[in-house]
Structure 1
Amino acid sequence: MRMGFTGMTLDRADHLRRDEQALKLARMHPSARFLLLDGLKPVLAPDADRLLWVRRSQAPDNPSIFLGLDEEGIPHFALAGAAADVGGIATDARAAGTRLSAPEAGIVALARSLLDWHDRHGFCAACGAPTRPVKGGYGRQCDRCTAQHFPRVDPVVIMLAEKDGLALVGRQPGFPAGFFSALAGFVEPGESLEEAVARELWEEAGVRARSVRYVASQPWPFPSSLMIGALATADSHALSPDFEELEEARWVSREECAAALRGDGDWSAPPPLAIAHWLLRAWVEGQVPPS
């Protein structure tokens, strides 16, 4: 099983993105396939856990983004459209991420993030004029001031502090009852990932940490984050939570964490869709870099 929203196998084919005529021909090709997102919800087939791909003749006449080429060279695109018009089911992207195969869940992450970015960046940040999609949907062009704009990915660190066989988990006020997860926060300007991990642990839980080690990463298309999983060594078990950020923080053992991951502990762990699940699992199984 792969981490949620990873594993896309389409070739993003950058050479096609830079060739507007080639992209036009790709869209018109009889083999081209189109994925609809209805209000940013991917449209799934009504009879199976798979994306519903339609032909150009079935797709609405809306701007599309180029997703890539499959192993047979067939071009795939995504665009906004109504699920009812193609006989599909608009499905929450998180739910889709748990049901789809890894390659298709990865496509959802790409399509949702890009379409959302286009929805929110219709005007030039430099001069305020309308912009238009370019490079297959991987950019926008302002024809007044010639500025080019590209999608941004927001880095988020998500981490476990550990000390003497215990790991730190916390729960935010909005979490379901009994649910705990790894701590997380956005990387700030002028900050390394290691500095962000140490700062977030200190700000949220009052924990001083060192020896930050990278574990894994995950795209999180809500709207366009990159979750960067890490482990850090805490200087002590003393906690001083920021109760505006955390309702509770606690140190847990590997045995307690393993029980939570199995679903029979006294607290609930994140589901496999989320990198926090895999971060906790890697710690329990000793598959994290040593300090």
Structure 2
Amino acid sequence: MGHPTPDLPVLAEDNSMLSRRFGREVANYFSGSPLNRISFLRTDYGFLRAAFAHPSASFLLLDNLSPSAKDYANLSYVTRDIVVPLTGEEPFKTSEEEQLKSFNSAITQPVVLFLGIDEKDPDFQYRDYKGKPYFAVDVTPKGTIETKAKSIVDIVKASGVSFVDGRRLLSLKAPDAAIYAEARALLDWNSRNPFCGGCGQRTTSINAGWKRACPPTDLAGVPEGGAPKEREDCPTRHGISNLCFPRTDPTVIMAIVSADGTKILLGRNKRFPPNWFSTLAGFLEPGESIEEAVRRETWEESGVTVGRVVIHSSQPWPFPANLMIGAIGQATPDGETIHLGHDEELTDARWFSFDEVREGIKFGISGLGEPAPAGYREGALRLPPQTAIAHQLILAVLKGYLEAVPKI
């Protein structure tokens, strides 16, 4: 059986002019973080040192991107004393410049990621900023830290904490899901970028996991006290800084409505369970607007021609680093014929009546790896769970989103 579906993020009440005119903002799963990221302090090593050393600091551990958790709904955090054997007492002791000078490519450095502060718990203060510091630490056993990392994993497991499978973790409570999404995406990015895109040499993580740099020197193989070796020249060290920063890959996902506003276009690929359909989606390409990407992807995958496109909401999707930009589009009257011959990504695409979709919402909701729920009628439509933005787009159409959008 699958895990209970968590609630979505809850936004504060908003009676602004925009909300009165366009409706409340939609918050999707993996968004709505309780943390203030205070991103401008990631380069302040005095702040990072103070936050790391504070007794209230909490540390989320990730082993091969699987987070430490009490269960499938709640993350589990450890205190500083648990991670110090791996990170050292002061992982932020030296500045960025000094870290680059002491770089040793033969030594594996654990990534310690600053996530933000929880302002509801203001025990820690730095200048005008108050809140409990949160960090994530990569405890994947590897390289020269393998033994220490494995020891921490074993200690945590012995205390009754598990590392839950993070490949498609969609059961966490909404605040924890947002924290996990940030940590997972950043640690995955760090692990995928061990080498410089400009010269191919090893990079190092700086600014609390939010930047990777290509050091000019290397202490690998140098006797203790010896001068570091100069590395090959690299274009990232010249002119405007183009060092490596975390990437986010924009993806469009769209609920397409028929020209008469009575049907929704849904598709499926070979990975989906029988009768399980979802909205169409695809990557945004360079030099392309969101609206153009919606029209292109819909036509390429289904043959349907889309006219007007309205942006609905977005969803961070940390598998590995996507931003799902949700849209609702309407087919042109002469462009509703389905043709799967352009792009063979889909194995099926169909127009479903609103009544069929309502039945799917009521009786056919399940995750990809889960069985159909109780009450499901064999052969009927199955749809994604509410943690997927596809579900929210479909629901918006059924609730009259197109009619609710005001005319300007």
Cα drift, residue 135 of structure 1: 2.0
For the residues of structure 2 that align with 1:23 and 1:51, how far apart are their CA atoms? 23
Say whether the 8 Å CA contact 1:153–1:225 is kept in structure 2.
yes
Q: CA deviation at 1:192?
A: 0.7
1:84 positional shift:
3.8
Deviation digits for residues 182-235 of structure 1 (CA, Å, limit 9, x no counterpart): 000001111111110000011000111111100110000000000011111111
> Within 5 Å, which residues of 2 pair with 1:1-291?
1-2=7-8, 3-45=28-70, 49-59=73-83, 60-61=86-87, 62-71=110-119, 72=121, 73-81=131-139, 83-87=153-157, 88-93=161-166, 96-98=169-171, 100-144=172-216, 145=234, 146=237, 147-163=242-258, 164=260, 165-235=262-332, 236-242=335-341, 244-263=344-363, 264=376, 266-288=380-402, 290=405
Q: What is the CA–CA distance in structure 1 between the aligned matches of 2:170 and 2:118, rounded to whole Å?
A: 20
* Runs of 4+, deviation exceeding 6 Å: none
Contact 2:66 2:167 in 1 (8 A): no
Distance in structure 2 (CA, Å) of the matches to 1:176 and 1:38:
29
Mapped partners of 1:103, 1:196: distance in 2: 31
Query: Any conservation in 1 of the 2:205–2:212 contact (CA below 8 Å)?
Result: yes
C-alpha distance in 2 between matches for 1:184 and 1:205: 11
The aligned length equals 289
Q: Cα offset for 1:21?
A: 2.6
d(CA) in 1 for partners of 2:192, 2:307: 38
Are the counterparts in 1 of residues 41 and 47 from structure 2 also a CA contact under 8 Å?
A: yes
Give the aligned residue type for 2:324: M
Q: Give 3-state SS (helix, strand or coil) of 2:170's partner.
A: helix
Secondary structure (helix, strand or coil) at the match of 1:136 reads: coil
Name the stretch that deviates more: 276-285 or 133-142.
133-142
Question: With structure 1 as the length reference, what TM-score do the two structures score?
Answer: 0.93
Amino acid at match of 2:80: R
State the shift of 1:94 in Å: 6.1
Q: Following TM superposition, by how much is the alpha carbon of 1:26 offset from its aligned partner in structure 2, in angstroms?
A: 1.4
Tell me, in whole angstroms, the C-alpha distance in 1 between the residues paired with 2:248 and 2:175: 20
Q: Secondary structure at the match of 2:37?
A: coil
Letter of the structure 1 residue corresponding to residue 166 of structure 2: A
- Give me the whole-angstrom Cα distance separating, in 2, the residues matched to 1:189 and 1:92: 33
| Percent identity (aligned) | 43
Describe the superposition over 1:39-84 as per-residue Cα deviations: whole angstroms up to 9, x where unpaired: 10111015x8311110111124332100000112111000122644
Larger Rg: 2
Please, what TM-score do these two structures have when normalized by structure 2?
0.67
Quick one: distance in 2 between partners of 1:129 and 1:6? 35
Name whichever structure is richer in strand by fraction: 1
Q: Which moved more, 1:27-36 or 1:114-123?
A: 27-36
Question: Which runs of 5 or more structure 2 residues have no equivalent in the other structure?
Answer: 1-6, 9-27, 88-109, 122-130, 140-149, 217-233, 364-375
RMSD (Å), alpha carbons: 1.8
In the alignment, residue 138 of structure 2 is paired with which amino acid?
A: A
Distance 1:270 1:90 in 2: 25
CA drift at 1:148:
1.6
Q: Any unmatched runs of 5+ in structure 1?
A: none
> Is contact 1:42-1:96 (8 Å) kept?
no
Letter in 2 for 1:138: W
Distance in 2 (alpha carbons) for counterparts of 1:169 and 1:216: 19
Q: CA deviation at 1:95?
A: 5.8
* Contact 2:249 2:323 survives alignment (8 Å): yes
Contact 2:255–2:390 (CA<8 Å) still a contact in 1? no
